[in-house]
Each structure stands twice: as structure tokens, then as C-alpha cells.
Structure 1
Amino acid sequence: MLHKYKIIVLTICFFSMICSPVMAYEAVPEAGIAINGKMVDGIKPIKISGKYYVPFRDLSKLLGYNDIRFESNTKTYQITDGSTVVRLTMGGSRARRGDEYINIDPPRWLNEMAYVSLDAASSLFNSFIYFKPENGSIQVEKPATRYRVQSGDTLWLISEAHHTTVQRLMAANGLTSTLIYPGQILKLPPRAQTKELEPIKEKKPVEKVPSNDSQIRSEIINVAQRFIGAGYKFGATLDEAPRLFDCSSYTQYVFNQKGIQLPRTSREQAGLGSSVPVASLKQGDLLFFQSPTLYSDGRVGHLGIYMDGGHMIHASSSNGVHITYNVFSNSYWGKNYLFAKRILE
């Protein structure tokens, strides 16, 4: 039985410590949340100025962003699913996803909880999220095939965030000019036209470079093989290692055993070291792939450690930590390969 809507009024203070005007929001019935048509849980939305907002932490966990950190002094969240770090601050109209800045509706801090609009959530999580009035549910299309334009967006900003081009965006939507408006829904180009190149903007040296190259490479592979059979968990935290890993927590953990510090996510690890062609690979190099079933923007979504003979050891969602033999001939990994990086010079 549906409850009557109720108007609630309260005063809030943003991270700047300056109190905002009194804000009204509507408490609405709990909504089921469905991912790609499958109902997975319930969530408690609210409405502000006619827009649906949902609890940010709850939605993050439902979408596999299990590493959630909160900076109370600035009211800033940093979350990751093991691929990309997302940062947003209460009241801010821009958020960071990987090394790109995206425009969003300002998140709200109400009753000691963070809320984001469905439009903002769509941008943050590379999904298309909307309210379905027929059954009162919140629907998540993941990965996104369409994008709702946010205030401040341009076709160039949207193309950068989705690793495509303005021309491809215009072609996908039959646009004859670059004029767009907030609320407009754009089709995203086919996945074959969204592919991330090496994230040069994040390139930086590894903190520690071993002196004996061949020995450390062999030791890295030996360490990596110790964890064959460990389970996989999307967005696994380092506290769960070595029992559970995702792809980037695995490589971070393995290299850390030899005193080599890697950042947490595959996207950040892709910014390290130097590019290396397939013909010149050495064991211990990192291989990077896109994950089209998770992300429609062609971003780095997976990585593994190269082994001699053309093989790769990695943590995958289907098999946990294991070796994929002849990785470039593999029907899945060969098709989704992006590039390789050498961090052991």
C-alpha cells in the first residue's frame, strides 16, 4: 500500500560551513531498484524540486562500488569499483570520474546522509538511471547506451568523458549543429567507437624501481602464482586480500609484496610507466583491457600481469585468480585488449 507523500522542511549546512536556505523535500515510498530489468533490492528515494534523489552510499554498493571513503571535514566521498575512482563533494556541481571532470546536479546532505539525483547518478556510474512510474521502481541501464545532458555540458565534454569524438556523437544522434540543452537525451556511439587510449594525463613514475630487472620480474610472477585459486569480488577491498581480489587489488597486492607501490584502480595503474608494444613484452608488464559488459565508454576496465610465452595471470570475475594462456589469441581478451605498460624498468 502506497504511503501519502509528506513534505519535510529542514535547514542544512554544506561543506563550506555556510548554512543554505531552508530546503523542502518529499519523502516518497521505498522503490525497488532494477539493474538491466532484474530487481535486485529496494532503495529509499526522496524528491527535491520535483527530482528523484537516492542515498549515495546505498546506490554505490548496489552497483559494486564497495570501497567507499568519506572525508567528513569537506563532506567529500571517494569511491571505486576497482576500475575508476569517483570523487564528489556535497553541494558541488562538478565531480571527478577517473581523470575527467563531469557536470552533475549538486549532491545534497540531508539527515546525515548524502543524496544524488538520478541524473547525477547516471553520469557518476556510467549508467542510465530513471524512475519508472508504472511500478514505482528505479531502473538502471548498465552500461549506458544513452546520456542525459547536464547543465554546463558541451558535446566536447561528453565525448571526452565517453572516450569518443564529437563527430561520432553528432552522427549517432543525427545532429547538424553542436547545440545541446540540459535534459536532452543523447544516444552514445556504438561501443566499437568508444575506446580509451593510454591515460597520458595521469602518467607518473613508480615510486620504487628495482635494480635487478630480470630477477624482480621472475619474483613478481612467483608471487602472483601463489594466489591462484583466490576468489573474485567486484570492488574488493585490500582488507579482503588475499582471500578475495578484483583485478587491480590483485596486481596492487602482488607488486606490494616486492615493495613496489601501485595505486588502487586499474585506471590509475594504467597511468604509470611507459607504453610497450606486444612484440616487446616482458613478464611483469601490465596488460590493460576494456570491459564492454560493464562500461560503455571504452575505459580501462581490467588488467593482468604478462607472463612469458604470451600468457597472463589475473583476477577475473569468472575464474578468480588464474592464468589465461595465449591471451592475445583468446576470443574475449584479444578483442578487448587496449595497451600494455612497463613499470619495471
Structure 2
Amino acid sequence: MRRARISLAAMLAVVCMLTACGPQMSKEQQESGQVGKIPSTNGKSADRQMSELENGKRDPGMLPQDRQTNPSSGWVQPQSAVVREQLTIPLLTLNGKDYVIGTEFANASGYQYSWDAARSVFQMGENDPSYELTIGQKTALKDADRIKLADPPILNNSQLMIPAAALPLLFNDDLSYEVKGKSIIFRLLDQAVIQQAESPDEAESGTHLDFADDPADPAKSKMTSAAWPDQPAITSWMEEPALPAARGKSLDTQALTDRAQRYLGVPYEFGAASFAKSGKFDCSSFTKYVFDRYGWKLERTARAQAAQGTAVDRKSLRKGDLMFFYVPGKYRSNQIVGHVAIYMGDQKIIHAAPSPQNGVQITEINTAYWKRTFLRAVRLS
């Protein structure tokens, strides 16, 4: 019997080791290590802490039945109470000034990021680079705007450091956070985090959010959704010449959407360099590249492109319209443009995205995800 007890204890110990008995690291803690194109610095990863509600406890009145889950759309909406989460990352003091590690800030925000060592440029954003900071420069880019900084970003232990004083200028309109002592605390916004879905969901999204074509679209009669024309795929990364800026000319949206399909399958890359150099697109570099071929000059980022053209209703869409969406995130505003696509007609868009496939793809948008995340559409001609 004693041997059996010893064997059982030993077995339990092995099981415990295999299943990681004891306190578990949160998802944010597991992700707190430096990941990305900037080398990590040992001992400098953030001490991230997750909690529910601001006091770190679950609302005792929050019961499982208080949450309503829609399996088809993948999003969960609290009914009687909202569980607030917060995420904390540290500020570091260097030469008497406070900084945050750029990759830590991007990870906490849920942003993608990239580092161009040759230019000492750090970019971050949702599906394209909305922010650009350069080592030693007191000017940062926020979309098409140049923001003056009191102190420049610096490089410390192979990490780009963002001055704490620059955070309000760059991020106050976009993120839910506060600087408290030597920490930055990100707070969950009171909103459902919607996941992508590929099937329509009228029960949750409603027909009032449906997208529809403008029956007066002059390109409507040229092509139907039943017969997308075959277009030769782009096999070369050679830069194709752009036309001179269009002045007072109408845009041939049929030709534009036909051309856009030639790039189907071109890989997505956040902050992609020119197509000729990289052979890749992010969401806004794709729209800019296609429209440039027809003499229509777009800004570089989705947010800046959303300020161009004339606004149109979701139920009066025409081929060639630009459509803008927000990208759901725990700590980001759902009123900020994070993605852009070209409308193809018949409730389809063509866009460069990292998912559900990677690269330029055509997507049906009369689904719960796209209906809920839609912000606006604009027409350029």
C-alpha cells in the first residue's frame, strides 16, 4: 500500500509538471517578451498585469448567463455588466526623463509594428502604419500630419524608446490609457470585441446595416457578380507607371476594379515598402498603388485616405468607392479608421489584409463583422 501511495504521488507530481499546476501566466504576461524586428533586451520586458474590473476582481453580480454569445459571428456582448480589464507596462527613466519601450507600447495597444534599421524608423498601427517615429528626430508622423515633440525618440539597449511626454500628442484620441507614476495603464473600453465571420448574421446585425449597390452606378451594367472577368496575375514586381494627376476627369471604376484583381494573392506586409521594392502591400499602400495607376493621388495611410473624396451611404455604393473600417481591439477606439478596401460591387471588397488569407483578397461584406466595423465610404470621382 505504501508503495502504491508513493507511486500515486509521483504520478501526480509528473502530471502537475506536465499541466503546469499552480499560478498561470496571463496571455498578456506570456506575450510580454519582446517580439518583432527590434532585438529584445533581457530584463526589460514589461511586468504586465491583467485584472478584471479596476480593483482587479470580477463583479460578483456578473454570472455566466449574463453574457450572450453569438457562435456564428464570434463576438460576445456583456448584458448586465462589463468586465473591465487593465494592462500595465512600466516607464523607464533615462537621463532624468521617462520613456516607454516602443515594442512594449505597440504590443499593449494591439498594434502591429516594424523597425527599419537602415533609416532608424519605427512604425506602428493597425493594418497600416499610422505612426512613424525616427531616432533623434523631434518630429513624428501621425498619418499625414507632422507632430512636433519636445524630446526625440532614442535608442537604448537596441530598443526604440518613446518619450512619455510624446504619448498624449500621438495617442490620446486613439487609445484608452493613463500615465500613473512610473506606469502606463491601459483600460478596456466598454465595447464588444468582434471577431471576423464569413457568414451573414441578421439576428445580431440587422438588415438596416446591410450594404447595397447604387442602382444608378454607371459601371453596374458592365459586369455582374456571376462573371468576374479573368485578369492576368501580376508576375513581375516591376513598378508600373502612374498616370498624371487626374484633373476634372471621371474615374473609370470598371477598369480600376478589373486592374485591382490582377494583384490577388500578392502578400500582405505591415508598413510595406513600394511594390517595386517589396512585392507586397498593406491595406493603404494597395489602394494608393491601384488609384495611382489612374492618376488619383491618395495619401499613404487609411486614416488620411478617409479624409479624401465625398462621403457616400452604405446603401448607395458604387464600384471603386473606398470603404473604411475600424479594427477591433481591447484598448483602442472603435471610431478610428484602421482598414481600407476598394468596393467591387455586389457587396464585395478587394483589399490587402493579413487574414483570413494573407494578401490581396476579395471578401463578402454583408456579414456581422464587416457591418459592425464599417465607419464610412468615400467616392473620388
Measured against the shorter chain, the TM-score band is 0.5 to 0.7
> Map of 1:1-345 to 2, 5 A cutoff?
37-38=30-31, 39-41=33-35, 42-43=40-41, 47-49=93-95, 53=99, 64-66=112-114, 79=123, 81=125, 82-86=128-132, 90=136, 92=138, 97-98=142-143, 106-107=151-152, 109=154, 116-117=161-162, 119=164, 145-148=176-179, 187=187, 189-191=189-191, 207-209=245-247, 211-213=249-251, 216-239=252-275, 243-293=279-329, 296-298=332-334, 299-318=336-355, 319=357, 320-325=359-364, 327=365, 329-343=366-380, 345=381
Q: SS in structure 2 opposite 1:312?
A: strand
Q: SS in structure 2 opposite 1:65?
A: strand
Q: Which amino acid aligns with 2:41?
A: I
Q: What RMSD over aligned residues (CA atoms) do the two structures have, in Å?
A: 4.6
1:291-340 Cα shifts (integer Å, max 9, x gaps)? 01386023110010001212111112112211112x1x212111100000
Identify if the C-alpha distance between structure 1 residues 241 and 220 changes in structure 2 by more than 3 Å, giving closer, same or farther. farther
Identify if the C-alpha distance between structure 1 residues 231 and 269 changes in structure 2 by more than 3 Å, giving closer, same or farther. same
Gaps in structure 2 of 5+ consecutive residues? 1-26, 45-91, 194-243
How far 1:53 moved relative to its partner? 4.1
TM-score, structure 1 normalization: 0.55
**Contact 1:67–1:80 (Cα < 8 Å) also in 2:** no
Q: How many residues align?
A: 244
How far 1:35 moved relative to its partner? 6.3
Higher relative contact order (CA 8 A, sep 6+): 2
- Counterpart in 1 of 2:218? none
Gaps in structure 1 of 5+ consecutive residues? 1-33, 128-142, 150-180, 194-205
**Contact 1:145–1:187 (Cα < 8 Å) also in 2:** yes
1:194-241 Cα shifts (integer Å, max 9, x gaps)? xxxxxxxxxxxx95246244xx10111011000111111122222467
CA distance in 1, matches of 2:262, 2:344: 14
Aligned sequence identity (%): 29
Identify if the C-alpha distance between structure 1 residues 217 and 296 changes in structure 2 by more than 3 Å, giving closer, same or farther. same
Q: Which amino acid aligns with 2:161?
A: V
CA distance in 2, matches of 1:104, 1:182: 20
The structure with the greater share of residues assigned to strand is 1
**Contact 2:135–2:154 (Cα < 8 Å) also in 1:** no
Identify if the C-alpha distance between structure 1 residues 83 and 276 changes in structure 2 by more than 3 Å, giving closer, same or farther. farther
Q: Which amino acid aligns with 1:253?
A: Y
**Contact 2:143–2:300 (Cα < 8 Å) also in 1:** no
- Counterpart in 2 of 1:133? none
1:233-292 Cα shifts (integer Å, max 9, x gaps)? 122222467732111111111112223221211111111111011222110010000001
Identify if the C-alpha distance between structure 1 residues 91 and 232 changes in structure 2 by more than 3 Å, giving closer, same or farther. closer
CA distance in 2, matches of 1:229, 1:264: 21
CA distance in 1, matches of 2:155, 2:360: 41
Q: Which amino acid aligns with 1:244?
A: K
Structure whose CA Rg is larger: 2
